[in-house]
Amino acid sequence: MQDPPPGFYYVSAGKAIDFLTVARNNCIQMGISRAERKTYRSFDGSHEEACWVERPDRYRAVESCGGDECRIVRGGGYSYAAAGFGGGARVQDLSSFNRVVGFRPSEKTIEVEAGISLGSLFHFLIARGFWLPVIPGYPGITVGGCIAANVHGKNPFLHGTFRRVLKSLLLYHPDRGFVNVSRDDERDIFDLTVGGYGLTGTIVSAELALETLQGNAVRIERCPVRSLQDAVSELTKRAGSSEFAYSFHPAYPVRGTVGNGWVYAADLIHTPGHEGRQRSMPKHVDPWRGRFLPFSIWGPGRTPYLLKAFSALERRRPRVETKSLFDGTFPFVGSWAYFSLYAKPGLFESQLIVPYENIPLFLTEIERILVEDNPPSVMISLKLFSGRNRLLSFENDGLCFTIDLCRNSSALRFLSKLDALMLKTGAIPNIVKDSRLTAETTASCYPEYELMKQRLADFDPRRLYRSELSIRLGL
């Protein structure tokens, strides 16, 4: 074996070794993973299904999983829609594929297996002075899930989506074997897989681009705003330079208007006393701890008071606050209580990107609908976005608008109007956030919907990878 590149080492073994050798060593013995029956429920509570589950623990086991049955890979289980199970597919749980394979500090790259969580990767990197700029809000999300959904972090205007930090990946498909995919090699498969919702095969590992860590803490400035339009103006000032930039708004009307809230802008800083104070990994966020409650705690007559209490507490907090890197990066680790308040019925979440030229129209119309219909909405969040939409990947230039609602018929009526507004303004929905989306709506919003279907059919004629999401969307 040739000497490894300078600065490259295989962490698990404690010595330099190349990635393909690791894969071969893992394949020395046949690995057969036993299947068990398990019931999964989507993060928003929309879909529940009993599935056969396999947990491969080596590369040979990935090859032996499933036989000729349809399958889908499941990561941390944080997709609001059922993207990692359903449709009669056998689930492949890659939680045992959670290792750091190779780390090249001189090149600012890292290779990890797809089942590693962002929280574990975060702790590995910051101890070595590096940082992954695109990180969503939950530490339990896996790298494979980030690729499949092409996730974004807390400032997609500045950092884009996960596509920007992904250099290459190792993909397995029963009819193709293991395939190395990158922008330069197998580019079509790369574009089909990033934001492909796990439908091209099993993402086994990935190489990611890193940035040098510029601080040991996060300085967060909390800026009050009086409307959604004010929030967009404040985000426009800050998104180009702040590490994080997003807003939060209670979604119920007050005196005929919607939008009182806060813009959060944050940067990494060096400050004494924060070294070594990073929080340990929390347990998995379980949104269904309140599933035995017969009705949602959020709801008419209750939501305004709960959010007024939150707003009162928020106003008492200092305008500028310093938090540890972990708490600043993963601000929603304690949010299981928020989701539990939705109880057994669950919630609706709709997230979409509105093109910049149509933001004024969208905000005017959405405020009017919220005031007139008074739906069971709870919160709204805004971010600015930059990128180019490809196939069905959630990425574009514009305003990212997110709204959470209690799951009931009133919310459905509101969301049908939101769909109409989305079509009117040329917005695109986030497929993994909205379990209501139909094939018709998706095709109307995404110009390359039919191209996505055709490329999936060409790549995988047997359509071995499927989920409730893929069947619902006609993919």
**97 and 233 both lie in a single domain:** no
276 by Cβ neighbours in 10 Å (0-12 / 13-18 / 19+) ranks as: exposed
pLDDT tens-digit readout, 364-378: 999 999 999 999 999
Confidence of residue 299 (pLDDT cuts 50, 70, 90): confident
Domain that holds residue 63: 19-212+456-472
Residue 14, domain member (yes or no): no
**88 and 193 both lie in a single domain:** yes
Residue 293, domain member (yes or no): yes
**384 and 462 both lie in a single domain:** no
**54 and 199 both lie in a single domain:** yes
**208 and 244 both lie in a single domain:** no
Q: What is the CATH number of the domain that holds 330?
A: 3.40.462
**258 and 375 both lie in a single domain:** yes
Q: Looking at the 3D structure of the chain, how many domains does it have?
A: 2
The fraction of the chain above a pLDDT of 70, given in percent, is 88
**165 and 247 both lie in a single domain:** no
Residue 6, domain member (yes or no): no
The fraction of the chain above a pLDDT of 90, given in percent, is 69
pLDDT score for 273: 66
* Strands 261-269 and 217-225, sheet pairing: antiparallel
Lowest-pLDDT range of 51-60, 152-161, 270-279, 370-379: 270-279
pLDDT score for 16: 37
Residue 45, domain member (yes or no): yes
pLDDT at 4 over 90: no
* Tokens 């860590």 -> residue: 213
**What is the average pLDDT value for the chain, to the nearest integer?**
87
pLDDT score for 403: 97
pLDDT score for 281: 53
* 3-state class (DSSP) for residue 290: coil
pLDDT score for 253: 80
What stretches of 303-423 adopt beta strand conformation (E)?
320-324, 347-354, 377-385, 398-406
**193 and 304 both lie in a single domain:** no
**227 and 370 both lie in a single domain:** yes
Q: Are 382 and 231 in contact (CB under 8 A)?
A: yes
**153 and 234 both lie in a single domain:** no
**460 and 344 both lie in a single domain:** no
Residue 418, domain member (yes or no): yes
Residue 8, domain member (yes or no): no
Round to whole Å and give the CA distance between 422 and 17. 50
pLDDT tens-digit readout, 191-218: 999 999 999 999 999 999 999 999 989 9
pLDDT tens-digit readout, 230-254: 999 999 999 999 999 999 999 988 7
Angle subtended at Cα 344 by Cα 252 and Cα 411, rounded to the nearest 5 degrees: 35
**Six-digit token string for 272:** 């004494």
Residue 9, domain member (yes or no): no
Confidence of residue 287 (pLDDT cuts 50, 70, 90): low
**182 and 238 both lie in a single domain:** no
Residue 86, domain member (yes or no): yes
Q: What is the CATH number of the domain that holds 67?
A: 3.30.465.10
